[in-house]
């Protein structure tokens, strides 16, 4: 398991759109079973 925390100036909608567009790249990673994006209570922070 790997947890990455990021802060973004992008809107939530834009960040999710970009994540969805990159889905095929992540599906191609051998051994990757699932990838989750979660929004923290703090403004514009994701893990």
Bigger pLDDT: 31 vs 5: 31
pLDDT of amino acid 16:
87
Q: Is the pTM of this model over 0.75?
A: no
Name the band, by pLDDT with cuts 50, 70 and 90, for residue 45: low
pLDDT of amino acid 24:
92
Q: What is the rounded distance in angstroms from the CA atom of residue 15 to the CA atom of residue 42?
A: 16
The per-residue pLDDT of the chain, averaged, comes to 82
Residue 14 has pLDDT above 80, yes or no: yes
Domain ranges of the chain: 6-46
Q: What is the rounded distance in angstroms from the CA atom of residue 5 to the CA atom of residue 15?
A: 14
């Amino acid at each position: 398991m790997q947890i990455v925390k990021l802060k973004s100036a992008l809107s939530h909608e834009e960040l999710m759109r970009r994540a969805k567009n990159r889905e095929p790249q992540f599906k191609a990673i051998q051994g990757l079973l699932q990838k989750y994006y979660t929004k923290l209570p703090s403004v514009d922070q994701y893990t």
